[in-house]
């Protein structure tokens, strides 16, 4: 329900990360969709009305964007001599985070590399021990640090360990200068740690003693704990937490707490009806033919709207169950919406997604997709990065905002770019938009990261 991320431990070191987002509805969603929802929600969604842009401004921002750099996260020798064998294997990028002038890319193997956008060199690997498998990343803008959530072979990858490292130390190539977080917590399955950027809080769940704890994201001090064993789940929204208790015969007990100090603001029961999935103080029923159950959705609290995903399509709905926006030319590449290929800007005005390319783009049809930038409130496609069928010697990125894909473009970047734009747009597995630098970073199944910039 907000801009938070939940990372749960998995006993398998190389299995897909189960990152649960808090913007799900109270009824929840299937686990196979939570990765994409996490991607949507982790984007520091906040209120910045003074940064609102017109459609023309947004088009101008992406008008001349093209492939500029390429980074490789793979090191066949490993980042140290004793590294685990599977960490030496090339694997796809599953998460990208940018902080100031550093780009962090996490591979499915558990290797995380940091790259400097000023020098375009790899700074270091974030894995500080040979057996560390990094599961997820979180940039803490409160103290300009990167939090890594990892599992280790030394304990059979059975628990999560968190570490905070200042960006300045990483920039100096000292990833081991960080310090451990939440050492008192037993984050074993089904325990988790959740970072709530909107409220500036961290929620942990220790399965060993069934205790939830809330920490301050600024200094990591514990604020309060919740030890009721009947709590089945906690959902976070701006300023509040919703506690969902064990289901009774005809209702589910709920409590709304202040996120700041844990004070109970309201207690009530959610009545269970066979044909009514959602009920609150004002019940709104929507025809099944008008509103098909989405596979995943996100609550855009800034605009009091819902962004829904179903069968590769995206739509926006209001609380009355009315369709507000249907997106033009925005067919998602992945049918199950379970990858990190979507970004929502902090103003909640734009959605950037990896989509199916145009049917008339013969160069990329069936192979490469496109990066589409659309207005959330109007559904209008403002810009698109796709493989161009023009092989001119000059980089001409105009018209439909195509990326430059000619081979000669490599030589303009000191041969750092080995891929054409068409190749870079094949099988994108992670996407991130740096709003400060106006750059899009994409990762693919080969462990490569591509920079798209003006």
69-124 tens-digit pLDDT: 999 998 887 666 677 887 888 999 999 999 989 999 999 999 999 999 999 999 99
pLDDT tens-digit series, residues 294-314: 667 787 877 888 888 888 888
Of residues 119, 103, 138, the one with CA closest to residue 439:
103
Cβ distance 66 to 404 under 8 Å?
yes
Binning pLDDT at 50, 70 and 90, where does residue 19 land? very low
Mean pLDDT, residues 30-49 taken together:
40
Measure the CA–CA gap between 327 and 437, rounded to whole angstroms.
26
Binning pLDDT at 50, 70 and 90, where does residue 334 land? confident
Looking at the DSSP assignment, which residues form a beta bridge with residue 234?
243
Mean pLDDT, residues 352-366 taken together:
69
Average pLDDT, the chain: 79
Cβ distance 161 to 149 under 8 Å?
yes
pLDDT score of 327 more than 80: yes
User: Measuring CA to CA, how many Å separate 217 from each of 48, 182, 247?
Assistant: 20, 12, 32
Under 8 Å CB-to-CB from 137, ≥6 apart: which residues? 95, 97, 104, 106, 112, 146, 147, 148, 149
Under 8 Å CB-to-CB from 407, ≥6 apart: which residues? 420
Question: What 3-state DSSP class applies to 52?
Answer: coil
pLDDT tens-digit series, residues 194-208: 999 989 999 999 988
Mean pLDDT, residues 247-251 taken together:
89
| pLDDT for residue 398 | 35
| pLDDT for residue 61 | 86
Cβ distance 66 to 403 under 8 Å?
yes
Measure the CA–CA gap between 343 and 38, rounded to whole angstroms.
10
pLDDT tens-digit series, residues 383-410: 999 886 323 223 333 334 344 434 444 3
Measure the CA–CA gap between 218 and 209, rounded to whole angstroms.
26
Of residues 194, 262, 260, the one with CA closest to residue 228:
262
User: Measuring CA to CA, how many Å separate 294 from each of 100, 248, 312, 315, 321?
Assistant: 35, 27, 10, 10, 13
| pLDDT for residue 11 | 33
Question: What 3-state DSSP class applies to 61?
Answer: helix
Does this model's pTM top 0.85? My answer is: no
Instruction: DSSP for 224-283, please give it.
Output: EEE--TTEEEEEEETTEEEEEEPP-SSEEEEEEEETTT--EEEEEEEE-BTTBS---SS-
pLDDT score of 16 more than 60: no
In which region does residue 22 sit, left (phi positive, over 0), alpha (psi from -120 to 50) or beta (all else)?
alpha
Of residues 26, 53, 20, the one with CA closest to residue 376:
53
Lowest mean pLDDT among 226-235, 237-246, 322-331: 322-331
Go through the chain and tell me how many residues it has.
454
């Amino acid at each position: 329900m907000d801009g938070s991320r939940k990372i749960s431990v998995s006993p398998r070191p190389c299995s897909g990360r189960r990152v649960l987002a808090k913007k799900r509805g109270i009824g929840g969603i299937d686990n196979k969709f939570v990765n994409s929802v996490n991607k949507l929600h982790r984007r520091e969604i906040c209120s910045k009305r003074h940064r609102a842009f017109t459609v023309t401004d947004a088009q101008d921002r992406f008008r001349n964007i093209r492939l500029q750099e390429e980074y490789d996260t793979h090191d066949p020798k490993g980042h140290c001599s004793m590294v685990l064998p599977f960490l030496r294997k090339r694997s796809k990028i599953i998460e990208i985070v940018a902080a100031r002038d550093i780009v962090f890319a996490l591979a499915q193997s558990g290797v995380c590399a940091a790259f400097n956008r000023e020098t375009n060199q790899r700074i270091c690997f974030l894995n500080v021990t040979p057996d560390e498998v990094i599961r997820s990343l979180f940039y803490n803008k409160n103290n300009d640090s990167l939090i890594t959530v990892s599992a280790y072979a030394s304990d059979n990858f059975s628990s999560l360990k968190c570490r905070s490292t200042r960006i300045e130390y990483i920039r100096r190539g000292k990833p081991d200068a960080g310090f451990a977080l939440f050492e008192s917590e037993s984050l074993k399955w089904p325990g988790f740690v959740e970072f709530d950027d909107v409220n500036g809080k961290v929620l942990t769940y220790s399965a060993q003693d069934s205790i939830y704890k809330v920490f301050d994201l600024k200094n990591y001090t514990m604020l309060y704990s919740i030890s009721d064993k009947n709590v089945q789940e906690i959902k976070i929204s701006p300023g509040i937490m919703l506690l969902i208790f064990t289901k009774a015969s005809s209702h589910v007990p709920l409590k709304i707490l202040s996120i700041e100090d844990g004070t109970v603001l309201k207690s009530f029961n959610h009545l269970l009806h066979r044909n009514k999935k959602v009920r609150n103080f004002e019940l709104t029923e929507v025809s099944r033919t008008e509103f098909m159950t989405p596979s995943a959705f996100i609550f855009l609290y800034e605009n009091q709207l819902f962004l829904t995903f179903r069968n590769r399509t995206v739509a926006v709905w209001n609380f009355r169950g009315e369709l507000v926006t249907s997106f033009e030319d925005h067919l998602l590449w992945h049918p199950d919406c379970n990858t990190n290929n979507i970004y929502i800007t902090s103003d909640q005005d734009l959605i950037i997604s990896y989509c199916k390319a145009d049917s008339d783009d013969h160069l990329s049809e069936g192979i490469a997709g496109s990066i589409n930038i659309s207005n959330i409130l109007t559904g209008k496609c403002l810009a698109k990065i796709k493989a161009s069928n023009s092989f001119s010697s000059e980089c001409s990125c105009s018209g439909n905002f195509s990326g430059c894909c000619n081979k000669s473009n490599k030589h303009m970047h000191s041969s750092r770019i080995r891929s054409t734009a068409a190749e870079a747009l094949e099988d994108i597995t992670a996407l991130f938009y740096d709003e400060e630098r106006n750059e899009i970073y994409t990762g693919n199944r080969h462990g490569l990261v591509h920079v798209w910039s003006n």
